[in-house]
Chains A and B, each alone.
Chain A
Amino acid sequence: NAGVTQTPKFQVLKTGQSMTLQCAQDMNHEYMSWYRQDPGMGLRLIHYSVGAGITDQGEVPNGYNVSRSTTEDFPLRLLSAAPSQTSVYFCASRQTGAFGETQYFGPGTRLLVL
């Protein structure tokens, strides 16, 4: 199992550019989510999905779009990047059901918006 994979590892964007951060998992997990990590802020939930075709907003969804067409993939789209979106982005997945289920994280994507 590769677990949770993310691409790219690093990206530099100019303000106003768009891009898609890719996330995939091979554990057949129904639940997937995106977090951003900023210094002193911990991890904040952007969007999440409980299955193919179902997505919902987290704590900080503005400026980001998601879709879930397959169980395996959960891309995060920045339609018009802003410097405030400079951050490290983590994708995660887990089984749904019991609240004790372990959540698995990808290695992260470091994004710099100039």
Chain B
Amino acid sequence: GDSVTQMEGPVTLSEEAFLTINCTYTATGYPSLFWYVQYPGEGLQLLLKATKADDKGSNKGFEATYRKETTSFHLEKGSVQVSDSAVYFCALRGYGGSQGNLIFGKGTKLSVKP
């Protein structure tokens, strides 16, 4: 069935460091891919998305490229800030056994130190 695997955390970085959070997926066909962010004590909110191969999603300095050949959707940011401290979830919506429901990775907690 459809699944998402993302790097385990926690990840601790200093302010202005480069961030990469790896995400790979297994799915039938061409799923849509998403990154959601959860700030402390809040619900999830969409960070960015990509709906077809080679699309790049971007928002708030974060980027991720839909790589069909490597089944990946890695999240990157060139210079993180303390305010980026949160839990990041990679997710997909596909045509397989998930019946179009969002399938999430386990989340990666990011802490950014001043």
Contact = CB atoms under 8 A, between A and B. Distances in A.
Contact of B106 (A42, A98, A100): A42
Contact of A100 (B42, B45, B49, B89): B49
A75 interface: no
Contacts of A102: 46, 49
B100 A99 contact: yes
A58 interface: yes
Interface of A: 4, 33, 35, 40-45, 48, 56, 58, 90, 92, 98-100, 102-108
Contacts of B100: 99
The main secondary structure of chain A at its interface with chain B is: strand
18 contacts: A42-B104, A42-B105, A42-B106, A43-B104, A90-B43, A90-B44, A92-B102, A99-B31, A99-B51, A99-B93, A100-B51, A100-B93, A102-B46, A103-B102, A104-B46, A105-B36, A106-B43, A108-B42
Interface centre among B44, B94, B104 (most CB of A within 10 A): B44
B90 to A, nearest CB: 9
A107 B43 contact: yes
Interface residues of B, number: 23
A103 B34 CA distance: 10
B107 A107 contact: no
A45 B106 contact: no
Query: Which of B32, B46, B104 is the most central at the interface, judged by chain A CB atoms within 10 Å of its CB?
Result: B104
A41 B106 contact: yes
Contacts of B99: 56
A58 B95 CA distance: 15
Contacts of A44: 104
A90 B102 CA distance: 13
A14 B70 CA distance: 48
Interface in B16-71: 31-32, 34, 36, 42-46, 49, 51
Chain B CB count within 10 A is highest, among A35, A43, A48, A104, for: A43
